[in-house]
């Protein structure tokens, strides 16, 4: 088992892509999915997390694939809608995920910014697994959001 803990204080650079390539299993599809899921989790932490104080991101490589453990702070008032969104994503089939991902992207034509949920759809599509989320209160206004993702690489 190998663990790669991402240094969240560093910007993404060539070394980041190189390390993830080394961390993969040599197959292009796997390397690309590992990188894409990591990029989406990083984007989630940076754009929607509540600073880096409570944030961490690790990738575990094991015999059946890869597991990501992502943690970041979120405002407590987003816990309910975020839980509901993740629950909804977990009820969708692959085809439904694809369809809703496309619909959200299409709807983004008419708004300024991208829908923050789109990254979760993409993670679910690329990992082809359920999103495992949990929340823990950190006082009244803040909670930690833990998200575990699995990517099975058996073929």
Partner 1 sequence: MKRLQIDATDITPSVTLDAEKNIFELSGRSVADNPSDVYQPVLQWLNNYARDPRPVTLVSVKLEYFNTASSKALLDMLSALSFIRNAKVLWYYQEDDEDMREAGEEFFELVNVPFEFKTY
Give whichever of 18 and 137 is closer to partner 1, judged by the CB atom: 18
CB 76, min distance to partner 1, A: 24
* Angle between helices 118-127 and 79-91 in degrees, nearest 10: 40
Give whichever of 32 and 132 is closer to partner 1, judged by the CB atom: 32
Phi-psi region of 144 (alpha: psi -120 to 50; beta: other; left: phi over 0): beta
Question: What distances in angstroms separate CA 1 from CA 65, 102, 140, 149, one per listed residue?
Answer: 10, 36, 37, 16
Residue 95 binds to partner 1 (criterion: CB under 8 A):
no
> x/- binding map, residues 33-72, to partner 1, per CB under 8 A?
x-xx--xx--x--xx-------------------------
Residue 122 binds to partner 1 (criterion: CB under 8 A):
yes
Greatest C-alpha distance within the chain = 46
CB 79, min distance to partner 1, A: 22
Sheet holding 132-137, edge to edge: 2-5, 56-62, 65-75, 142-152, 132-137
Binding interface with partner 1 (CB under 8 A): 11-14, 16-17, 28-29, 32-33, 35-36, 39-40, 43, 46-47, 98, 101-102, 105-106, 108-109, 113-114, 118-119, 122, 126
């Amino acid at each position: 088992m190998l663990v790669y803990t991402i240094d969240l204080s560093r910007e993404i650079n060539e070394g980041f892509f190189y390390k993830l390539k080394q961390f993969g299993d040599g197959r292009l599809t796997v390397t690309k999915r590992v990188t894409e899921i990591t990029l989406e989790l990083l984007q989630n932490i940076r754009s929607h997390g509540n600073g880096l104080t409570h944030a961490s991101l690790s990738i575990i490589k094991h015999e059946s694939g890869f597991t990501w453990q992502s943690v970041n702070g979120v405002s407590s008032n987003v816990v309910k809608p975020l839980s509901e969104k993740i629950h909804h994503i977990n009820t969708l089939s692959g085809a439904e995920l694809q369809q809703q991902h496309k619909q959200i992207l299409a709807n983004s034509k008419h708004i300024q910014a991208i829908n923050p949920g789109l990254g979760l759809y993409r993670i679910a599509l690329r990992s082809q697994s359920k999103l495992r989320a949990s929340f823990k209160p950190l006082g009244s206004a803040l909670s930690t959001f833990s998200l575990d993702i699995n990517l099975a690489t058996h073929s």
